[in-house]
Amino acid sequence: MATPDIGLSPDRRSFVKTFYMSLILNNCKKKTCAVFIFDGFADHEISLTTSWLGGNGSDFAIETFSTEGQMVTSMSGMRVMPHTSLKLVEPEDFDLLLLPGGDSWKDGDNLEIFPLIRATIGKKPIAAICGATLALGDLGLLDDIPHTSNFPGFLKHYCPDYTGEHLYQTMPCVNAGSIITANGVAVIEFAYEILRSFRVFDDQKAQEWKELYLSGGEVMSFFE
């Protein structure tokens, strides 16, 4: 995937980008999940997903990016230095675009990522949780597919042009194939759909993983 924006020439940037990609591949990570981070991003909403998607036994590397490659502070107060900047990220660089929630989406911020979202549709899957679903609603990407969000009316309130009410599903998480959406408290269901869809676990193991977390550790068949 892309590398930190340090003022490189286009040719040098291409070389370094290829070099960093080779490091990922040499580390046995054949796929990449690109995570957009920004000041106030809801780190708790994606932490379960990223810890298992990028963990041992998975083919995925987790790579973060911010608008200008700058350090950001998450909702919990953690300071996070991303791997790269938005302008160096292209759909060809990743296998999944992951969008965490945060109040910035409701405030009308993060518009700078809209072109990347548009470019990604039809090429790579997008997973959005909580407020990040507003970006998809603003872009009209939820008008024709099953989806969910925080609650009925949430999308229409913040996205006046949204017309997908008839396809809204009052469920924790909805997997429409190219787009996965979830409400802000569905951190287990969100992670489950991503881990299952990208075959980190097969269907049975993914279900056992989900039951483990939903049971608070009482159902231990996942480790058998």
Backbone angles phi, psi at 79, to 5 degrees: -95, 125
Q: What is the pLDDT of residue 19?
A: 47
Q: What would the two tokens of residue 168 be? A: 């809204």
Give the separation between CA 191 and CA 170, rounded to whole angstroms: 18
What percent of the chain is modeled with pLDDT above 90? 81
Please tell me what DSSP assigns to residue 112. Answer: G
Q: What is the pLDDT of residue 56?
A: 83
Q: What is the pLDDT of residue 219?
A: 85
pLDDT tens for each residue of the chain, 224 residues long:
554 555 666 655 654 555 455 454 445 668 999 999 999 999 999 999 999 999 988 999 999 999 999 999 999 999 999 999 999 999 999 999 999 999 999 999 999 999 999 999 999 999 999 999 999 999 999 999 999 999 999 999 999 999 999 999 999 999 999 999 999 999 999 999 999 999 999 999 999 999 999 999 898 889 88
Asked if residues 196 and 208 have their Cβ atoms less than 8 Å apart, the reply is: no
Q: What is the pLDDT of residue 57?
A: 82
Give the separation between CA 97 and CA 121, rounded to whole angstroms: 10
